[in-house]
Amino acid sequence: MKFQFNHNSINVLDLEKSLSFYREALGLAETRRKEPADKSFILVFLGDGTTAHKLELTWLRDRTEPYNLGDNEFHLAFAVDDYNAAFQHHKNMNCVCYENPGMGIYFIEDPDGYWLEIIPERR
């Protein structure tokens, strides 16, 4: 038996705002969408165009309050081929929330408060 990663899911409050953020900040594009007839939720799968792994954004129609992310230090990590350009791009977007120059990484924050780790591509 062999398992492989398929996707991660996060809940978002404003789907269009999140789609815009993930497109601008990380270059992710919509690959698939699911919406039931009653329109109670929307699932949007985003991909990087390189790997099979997807990020699923889950929007719930009746949700009006921001999600409580608690003390969980859950995060997703993205490797980038031009770390310095990415860092400047994210600084310009004003979404860098934590820098760790000693480890050579930084984090950006999405519209719902999720942290995303940015690491240089390891060669």
- What's the pLDDT tens digit per position in 60-117? 999 999 999 887 678 999 999 999 999 999 999 999 999 999 999 999 999 999 999 9
Measured distance CA(90)–CA(80) in Å, rounded? 12
Decide if 19 contacts 1 (C-beta within 8 A): no
Measured distance CA(57)–CA(61) in Å, rounded? 13
Measured distance CA(40)–CA(62) in Å, rounded? 7
pTM, full prediction: 0.93
**Within a domain: residue 68?**
no
Q: What is the domain range of residue 57?
A: 7-62+75-120
**Within a domain: residue 67?**
no
Sheet holding 29-34, edge to edge: 7-12, 54-60, 41-47, 29-34
Phi, psi of 105 (to 5 degrees): -140, 165
Report the domain count for the chain.
1
